[in-house]
Amino acid sequence: MTMAIATAAAGKITESLTDGARESVAAIVRRIREKFRQQPPALATLEAACDDPARIQDLAALLDEAMTRDPEFGHQIRALWQQTAIRASDEGVVNVFRGHAEKVVQLRDVHGGLSIH
């Protein structure tokens, strides 16, 4: 879940979200910025993730650590995330998987046959 939150916070999926979902993600970003306001390195990590998708993993790790150290912050972020109804707008697709699995397959439009072995 932390990676999905970091990706959303970095703005990499907001283009395909509905207005309501964008507002929820904006609330998450505001809460993260508020938490890291006095921590310039943490804010720099957030900004770096916004500029470079390769840095999203760094942001996810930072969020995971912050949520572990401050359970209340973790609860707030998870609650905001649960309120976020991520739905694709227009022809966009959003795949969400929660839990643990050895293999996950997510599809949209399949025309013709499909075999998975």
* Token pair recorded at residue 38: 């006095």
Mean pLDDT of 30-54: 90
CA distances for 38 relative to 15, 30, 60, angstroms: 29, 14, 19
Reported as a pLDDT band with limits 50, 70 and 90, residue 33 is very high
Domain ranges of the chain: 2-83
Mean pLDDT of 30-52: 91
pLDDT score for 30: 92
CA distances for 89 relative to 7, 14, 68, 96, angstroms: 18, 10, 33, 15
pTM over 0.75: no
pLDDT score for 40: 93
pLDDT tens for 64-92 read 999 999 999 999 998 888 777 555 556 66
The region that residue 20 occupies, defined by phi over 0 for left and psi between -120 and 50 for alpha, beta otherwise, is: alpha
